[in-house]
Amino acid sequence: MYDIITLGSANVDIFVKTKIKPEINKHIDHYDIAYHLGDKLLVDDLHITTGGGGTNTAVAFSRLGLKTGYIGVIGNDVNGSLILNELKKEKVTFLGKVKEGNTGLSVILPGSYDRTILAYKGVNNNLSIKDIRLDRIKSKWLYVSSMIGQSLETAESIIYIAKKNKTKIAINLSMYIATKGLEKLSTLLNSADIIILNKEEAQALTKEKDIDKILNKIYEHTYGKVIITSGSGNIITSDSLRVFTKHITPINPIDKTGAGDAFASGFVYSMIKGKSIQEAMDNGHKEALSVMAHIGAKNNLLKKL
């Protein structure tokens, strides 16, 4: 019996840093990085790490002492071997499938205030229910991060099976899933004990702007706790009866990659350990701050909260 099983993507992340200076975009009020066609640019710094919502959270839970499994698809290439070796090192049991093809890959181009990510999904989208030995999926909790295509359909089937087995469910919605709307996601939301999404995803999901209206609409479809993050803004959590707020002090992060996964891991871990909602928000924020102080989604995940 696992304490928690995570379900989601697995990537290799390549951070590419150059000395190109940001330029103001005259049409939109923010800075952009411009790469001129035909130029040959020297790379000043290069970091290769692993990422993906499924493995990021699996490693986070394992480091905090939970018996953890991971379900996803990994390619039979060099990058796949890198991820599998890391999962083994981090004491995460791989419960997914190695398939012919390329492992997911992200190229991260850091800027002065944010970054641009070129995301290649590879085999991440190809998870089939036939790829999983269902007799091995026995867990107290199931954490589901963003998946698309066939993998999303499989995730929904796994959630249904887990719920029948009285497994608690935490779901971290992505913009891709949120844009499907409340009605199409009603069954998914109703299965969740914890729903985590950012403000933009919450607005896309409900077609509302105001937080109170957003929460009211979501609670027409779920009984779970709803957590809405907002980057450097406040964190809002509701248990349907009360609303809790954590005020965030703006920081200048080294790298934001994996911060959302880190927050979600800290929050869900705290709920598993019986902590209060306020403590869970504090611990999620603490985990996210630690990750943002370093390059890479896993490099500074905590071993104690």
**What residue numbers bound the domain in which 228 lies?**
2-10+52-103+121-292
pLDDT at 24 over 70: no
User: Percent helix, strand and coil across the chain, each rounded to 5?
Assistant: 35, 25, 40
**Local confidence band at 63 (pLDDT 50, 70, 90 cut-offs):** very high
Residue 239 has pLDDT above 70, yes or no: yes
Of the pLDDT bands very low, low, confident and very high (cuts 50, 70, 90), residue 37 is: confident
In a domain, 17, yes or no: no
pLDDT band at 31 (very low <50, low <70, confident <90, very high): low
Are the C-beta atoms of residues 43 and 16 closer than 8 Å to each other? yes
Domain membership of residue 28 (yes or no) is: no
- What is the pTM for the complete model shown? 0.93
Q: 115-120 and 104-110 as β-strands: parallel, antiparallel, unpaired?
A: antiparallel
* Distance of alpha carbon 264 from alpha carbon 170, whole angstroms: 9
In a domain, 46, yes or no: no
Give SS3 for 257.
coil
Is 41 part of any domain? no
Query: How many domains are contained in the chain?
Result: 1
What residue type is 8 in one-letter code? G
**Radius of gyration, alpha carbons of the chain:** 19
Q: Are the beta carbons of 189 and 195 closer than 8 angstroms? A: yes
- pLDDT: which is higher, 261 or 17: 261
**With contact defined as beta carbons under 8 Å apart, do 82 and 12 qualify?**
yes
The tens digit of pLDDT for each residue in 117-130 reads: 899 999 999 999 99
Length of the chain measured in residues: 305
The closest of 62, 113, 119, 117 to 91, measured between CA atoms, is 62
Residue 113: pLDDT over 80:
no
Residue 32 within any structural domain of the chain = no
In this structure, is residue 191 part of a structural domain?
A: yes
Euclidean distance between CA atoms 183 and 294, whole angstroms: 39
C-beta neighbour count of 121 within 10 angstroms: 20
Span 41-52, average pLDDT: 90
- Burial (CB < 10 A; 0-12, 13-18, 19+), residue 42, is exposed
- Mean pLDDT over residues 7-36, rounded? 76
Question: What's the CATH code of the domain at 57?
Answer: 3.40.1190.20
User: Which whole number is the average pLDDT over 166-181?
Assistant: 93
